[in-house]
Amino acid sequence: MTELSQSQMFRTSKLEEADGPGLNPTQNRTMGDIIAARFSRRSFMKGSMALSAIAATVSPVALLAADEARAGTTGSAFNFPEVEAGVDADHHVADGYDADILLRWGDKVFADAPDFDPTRQSETAQERQFGYNNDFVGFIPLDGASDRGLLVVNHEYTNEHLMFPGVVTIAEGKVKVTPATQERVNIEMAAHGGTIIEIRKQDGKWRPVLDAPLNRRITAKTEMRLSGPVAGTDRVKTSEDASGTRVFGTINNCAGGVTPWGTYIMAEENIHGYFLGELPAGHPEAENYKRLGVPAGDYDWGKFHKRFDIAQEPNEPNRFGWVVEVDVMDPNSVPKKRTALGRFKHEGAESVVAADGRVVFYLGDDERFDYVYKFVTAGRYNPKDRAANLDLLDEGTLYVARFDEGGGMEWLPLIHGQGPLTAANGFASQADVLIETRRAADLLGATPMDRPEDIQPNPATGRAYVMLTNNTRRKEANAANPRLNNAFGHIVEIIEAEGDFTATTGQWEILVQCGDPSVAEVGATFSTETTKNGWFGMPDNAAIDADGRLWVSTDGNSMKGTGRTDGLWAVDTEGQARGTSRLFYRVPVGAEMCGPCPTEDMTTMFVAVQHPGDGGDDWEGHGRPSYYEDLSTRWPDFRDDMPVRPAVVAITKRGGGRIG
């Protein structure tokens, strides 16, 4: 979700705490001047890690010298003509590629769904149509085919000013949305969640299969189960669910993942915005909710559905903020909220099978000064028996990362009874540790980060890439978050000890500090090969493709006066080209780039264009607030009777072949 929506979107910016200081009251591991100390010790060490450190932080001249010393490595792993960065109403892909619209908000997910009519929306229609604000995209091949599979897509949130006619008034140049009716709330709830839909490639083009048996919409009302250590405990019981296991819906599903056994992971991120009301006086959840910013009251759902009003249903927020797993092979399966993976503002949950068969999930908590986590399953992945893997996520160890000044790191286990995680500190059980994951991590001394987003492991190297999107509120640097005014974010590379993803120690480097390298104060560290089109800010989602190459999508470039929209960048991580970035695809004005999802055979890159048209005040092509009646773009249809629509795009090479 975009961090700053300019004048328009009070709701979006509230959800991201755009101007707030972050919610972490602790000051773990803050250090003023350790960067210099670190690199004076390490800059001239031998070996690739030391070279990486140089690449990330030292001048281009030093970088060249280092590269000359490095044998057997050559240029970029990518080869495509770069897109020119800029802003306009359309999307753009590298020459020689096609970017085809695959699914738009309102498109049919089932053969019997009604045609999309933006002037006559309804809950029942939206429940059968593609939802709003597509974010995570995953592809699960069917029967091992490369041209047939399930596309799984999160619908993170709704932008009422872009979705609905007649709901906006303009006051002092800003968009104000009228209070919701019950009908509008129900449409919004149906536009949240996710879509599972079969797609097939015929004659080189992907198309949805509307009569496929596994197609499914998941919404903010879909029945789910809590599973794992928190299920059935008192803090998740409500007046409507005495069992503490039965929950309706999933919300604000940002990024996610596809597990090695082919289930779909939907991460619940900014859940605080959906709750309103006040806890009863002296309620024991007060501190817990404060740490998550609950309630923010950004949506009106609680006026019509009492479970979103914490005065009436004080435990309901404890039933959100989890990682949700969906068995896509059974369209009637009940999705499970996997509580063992902790409760926070989950960005995503990308996984990798470790050498010993245990499965490791990397988890970012997207808030200023919050943490990087990983979860290691207790059981081992069984590639021969899918069913045997279906509850692997209920047992395992959750760890939080401490990044040390010397370039080492430690994964600290969040286990009840160990260290400070005891009854004396208010943790009576593992369920308490998981419900209040952030507070437990505070006590362990985790490193506060600059908004951890997607974390992408590279199975071939034992490394993982952490997108840190930005943080301009930092008063003290720490080594892994070295910039105080970090408007453009950075990428940290985790190097697990001996390449073992289950390791509890490791090393880390900064792959790149983002922003415009031609502006010295920004402190960007892209390689000198990076062109004026190639640099980016605000890394958000990422993918490692079948060749082990890193792709990074961004959130917020157009909001920072950079003269460029968000997009998908290809970033070298190896050899001389390390730290080189180039622009492959860019989104229309106001949009954020989500996805990205390369297919295993590398012939398609699926991307998600989120909240297009949400902005345009500072773009000369519009120059005023953008809303349903006065949009900065009508992408992708460009029809006067059709509003702008978030959409999933399939990028292929013209004439076929591998991408990038």
Q: Which does 572 bind (CB under 5 to 8 A by kind): ligand FEO, Ca ion, none?
A: none
Stretch that binds Ca ion, among 71-79, 221-229, 459-467, 537-545 (CB under 5 A): 537-545
Q: Which is nearer to ligand FEO, 21 or 357 (CB)?
A: 21
In the complex, the smallest distance separating the C-beta of residue 549 from Ca ion, rounded to whole angstroms, is 13
Are 410 and 419 in contact by the 8 Å Cβ rule? The answer is no
Q: Which is nearer to ligand FEO, 366 or 614 (CB)?
A: 366
Amino acid at 500: D
In the complex, the smallest distance separating the C-beta of residue 541 from ligand FEO, rounded to whole angstroms, is 8
Q: Which is nearer to ligand FEO, 228 or 448 (CB)?
A: 448
Distance CA 227, CA 246 (A): 10
Are 92 and 586 in contact by the 8 Å Cβ rule? The answer is yes
Q: Which does 450 bind (CB under 5 to 8 A by kind): ligand FEO, Ca ion, none?
A: none
For residue 439, the 8-state DSSP code is H
In the complex, the smallest distance separating the C-beta of residue 18 from ligand FEO, rounded to whole angstroms, is 12
Identify residues 578-607 at the interface with Ca ion (CB under 5 A). none
93 binds ligand FEO (CB under 6 A): no
In the complex, the smallest distance separating the C-beta of residue 74 from Ca ion, rounded to whole angstroms, is 27
In the complex, the smallest distance separating the C-beta of residue 468 from ligand FEO, rounded to whole angstroms, is 11
Comparing CA positions, the residue from 362, 361, 356 lying closest to residue 382 is: 356
Distance CA 387, CA 381 (A): 10
347 binds ligand FEO (CB under 6 A): yes
- φ and ψ of 153, to 5 deg: -135, 130
1 binds ligand FEO (CB under 6 A): yes
Comparing CA positions, the residue from 336, 128, 154 lying closest to residue 216 is: 128
Residues in Cβ contact with 471 at an 8 Å cutoff, skipping those fewer than 6 apart:
22, 368, 369, 449, 450, 451, 481, 486, 489
Q: Which does 241 bind (CB under 5 to 8 A by kind): Ca ion, ligand FEO, none?
A: none
Q: Which is nearer to ligand FEO, 347 or 432 (CB)?
A: 347
Among 17, 188, 366, 450, binds ligand FEO (CB under 6 A): 366
Q: Which does 324 bind (CB under 5 to 8 A by kind): ligand FEO, Ca ion, none?
A: none
The end-to-end CA distance of the chain, in Å, is 26
CB neighbours (10 Å) of residue 439?
A: 21
Distance CA 644, CA 637 (A): 8
Identify residues 564-603 at the interface with ligand FEO (CB under 6 A). none
Comparing CA positions, the residue from 386, 137, 150, 372 lying closest to residue 266 is: 137
In the complex, the smallest distance separating the C-beta of residue 256 from ligand FEO, rounded to whole angstroms, is 11
Are 446 and 436 in contact by the 8 Å Cβ rule? The answer is no
Are 515 and 487 in contact by the 8 Å Cβ rule? The answer is yes
CA distances from 86 to 83, 408, 588, 590, 638 (A): 9, 39, 9, 12, 19
555 binds Ca ion (CB under 5 A): yes
Q: Which does 160 bind (CB under 5 to 8 A by kind): Ca ion, ligand FEO, none?
A: none
- φ and ψ of 164, to 5 deg: -115, 135
Q: Which does 285 bind (CB under 5 to 8 A by kind): Ca ion, ligand FEO, none?
A: none
Q: Which is nearer to Ca ion, 247 or 464 (CB)?
A: 464
In the complex, the smallest distance separating the C-beta of residue 261 from ligand FEO, rounded to whole angstroms, is 25
In the complex, the smallest distance separating the C-beta of residue 19 from ligand FEO, rounded to whole angstroms, is 16
Q: Which does 366 bind (CB under 5 to 8 A by kind): ligand FEO, Ca ion, none?
A: ligand FEO
Copy the structure tokens of residue 4: 């700053």
Q: Which does 298 bind (CB under 5 to 8 A by kind): Ca ion, ligand FEO, none?
A: none
CA distances from 2 to 254, 289, 496 (A): 11, 23, 31
Among 82, 432, 540, 572, binds Ca ion (CB under 5 A): 540
516 binds ligand FEO (CB under 6 A): no
Distance CA 9, CA 177 (A): 9
394 binds ligand FEO (CB under 6 A): no
Stretch that binds Ca ion, among 265-273, 314-322, 535-543, 577-585 (CB under 5 A): 535-543
How, if at all, do strands 134-141 and 148-155 pair? antiparallel
Comparing CA positions, the residue from 498, 453, 220, 233 lying closest to residue 340 is: 233
Q: Which does 436 bind (CB under 5 to 8 A by kind): ligand FEO, Ca ion, none?
A: none
User: How many residues are present in the chain?
Assistant: 660
* Count of residues touching Ca ion (by CB under 5 A): 3
For residue 390, the 8-state DSSP code is T
Among 17, 454, 509, 516, binds Ca ion (CB under 5 A): 454
Provide the mask over 237-276, with x wherever binding to ligand FEO is found by CB under 6 A and - wherever it is not.
-----------------x--------------x-------
Are 458 and 464 in contact by the 8 Å Cβ rule? The answer is yes
Identify residues 439-458 at the interface with ligand FEO (CB under 6 A). 453
Q: Which does 454 bind (CB under 5 to 8 A by kind): Ca ion, ligand FEO, none?
A: Ca ion
Identify the residue whose tokens are 């800059």.
43
350 binds ligand FEO (CB under 6 A): no
Across-strand partners of 585? 93, 568
Q: Which does 496 bind (CB under 5 to 8 A by kind): Ca ion, ligand FEO, none?
A: none
Q: Which is nearer to ligand FEO, 560 or 653 (CB)?
A: 560
Provide the mask over 522-541, with x wherever binding to ligand FEO is found by CB under 6 A and - wherever it is not.
------------------x-
By three-state DSSP, how is residue 585 classified?
strand
In the complex, the smallest distance separating the C-beta of residue 266 from Ca ion, rounded to whole angstroms, is 13
643: cis peptide before it, omega within 30°?
Answer: no
Are 363 and 397 in contact by the 8 Å Cβ rule? The answer is no
Angle at CA of residue 264, ends 154 and 442, nearest 5°: 80
Identify the residue whose tokens are 């559905």.
305
In the complex, the smallest distance separating the C-beta of residue 254 from Ca ion, rounded to whole angstroms, is 6
Residues found near ligand FEO in the complex (CB under 6 A):
1, 156, 254, 269, 347, 366, 453, 540
Residues found near Ca ion in the complex (CB under 5 A):
454, 540, 555
